[in-house]
Amino acid sequence: MDSATVIRAVAAVLRDDTGRVLLVKRGNEPDRGAWSLPGGRIEADELPIDAVVREMREETGLTVDVDGLLGQVERPHPDGGRYVIDDFAVSNPRGALMAADDATDA
């Protein structure tokens, strides 16, 4: 991968009433087995806000409301290039929490 390659991604920050943040255990690389915020790549022609709702549903089984953008972080991709990740605050979870897609635990 070219070092100038940018991979756009999103992450969801869901807090409960006590301030705890929902994390998922990654089932795929990079960082397989690590705990992280639910999220993933933005698909072609997908808006970031739609991507964060999709990723939450795919990885946790929960449907959420998006409250707003918290910030943006960058991290290197193991094969070169870099991830640019939009972190969104989400709330009002609906559904049954379950690890799914590339998450092995939640």
Residue 99's pLDDT is what? 79
Domains of the chain, by residue range, sit at 6-101
Quote the CA–CA distance of 106 and 97 in Å, as a whole number: 7
In this predicted structure, what is the pLDDT of residue 37? Answer: 96
- 40's tokens: 């993933």
| pTM for the full predicted model | 0.89
- Say how far apart CA 17 and CA 57 lie, in whole Å: 21
Q: What is the pLDDT of residue 63?
A: 98
Q: What is the pLDDT of residues 64-94, one digit of tens each?
A: 999 999 999 999 888 888 999 999 999 999 9
Q: Write down the pLDDT at residue 79.
A: 81
In this prediction, residue 32 carries a pLDDT of 85
Which of the residues in the chain have pLDDT under 50? none
Cis check: omega of the bond before 30, within 30 degrees of 0 = yes
**Are residues 13 and 60 in contact, defined by beta-carbon separation less than 8 angstroms?**
no
Q: What type of residue is 1? A: M
Angle at 20 between CA 100 and CA 32, to 5 degrees: 40
Q: Which CATH number fits domain 6-101: 3.40.50.300, 3.20.20.140, 3.20.20.70, 3.90.79.10?
A: 3.90.79.10
pLDDT at 51: 98
